[in-house]
Amino acid sequence: MTPIHALLLTAALALSACATAEPPRLGPDGRPMPRAYMIAPGQEGAIQYRLLDSVNALRAARGAAPLQLNSALNAAAATHSRDMAVQNRPWHFGSDGSSPIDRVRRAGYMGTMLGENISETFETELETLSAWMGDATTAAVVIDPAARDLGFAWYQEPSGKLWWTMITGG
């Protein structure tokens, strides 16, 4: 390679490093549009344990015992997340009229269902947990000292909208 080619190659690489990223898309209000948090297949365990670790850190800071993931509560949460998407509304009752207690019992959970937090959002699980902690009613579900088990699941629509469900039991 001749010295001039080396110089041109170096200059081209330097200029390409200076290229700016695509500017953010702006909404009608002039503010940047949020990017959808898309969950790839195979991330289920990582997301559940990331949330569990965060919940347990919040509980430890308040002197509450740590929670453990429970497969029956996870199943009840997954069923409800999907059902909320089908109904296109975040609420605690199933399309069949079931309550959170009914769904937990159907999933085979042997303990007592203590609380359920739900959310319809485009936000991550940690942003959703932060929002729950910002409200006294939903924070009480996270911090309940009687809780020992946690179920956490979601349903994501193709648009990126997420339907999160967290259930605690003891």
Domain membership of residue 87 (yes or no) is yes
Answer whether residue 25 is part of any domain: no
pLDDT over 90 for what percent of the chain? 78
Whether 161 and 120 have beta carbons less than 8 Å apart is answered as: yes
Higher pLDDT: 35 or 141? It is 141
Q: Which domain holds residue 154?
A: 43-169
The CATH number of whichever domain residue 125 belongs to comes to 3.40.33.10
CA separation for the pair 140, 128 (Å, rounded): 15
**Is the pLDDT at 142 greater than 90, yes or no?**
yes
| Contacting residues for 55 by C-beta, under 8 A, at least 6 apart | 67, 129, 142, 150
What pTM does this model have? Answer: 0.80
Asked whether residue 132 is domain-assigned, the answer is yes
Q: Tell me the C-alpha distance between 89 and 6, whole Å.
A: 61
Residue 57, H or E segment = helix 44-61
Residue partners of 8: CB distance under 8 A and separation at least 6: none
Convert the pLDDT of each residue in 56-112 to its tens digit: 999 999 999 999 999 999 999 999 999 999 999 999 999 999 999 999 999 999 999
Residue 38 lies in a domain: no
Report how many domains make up the chain: 1
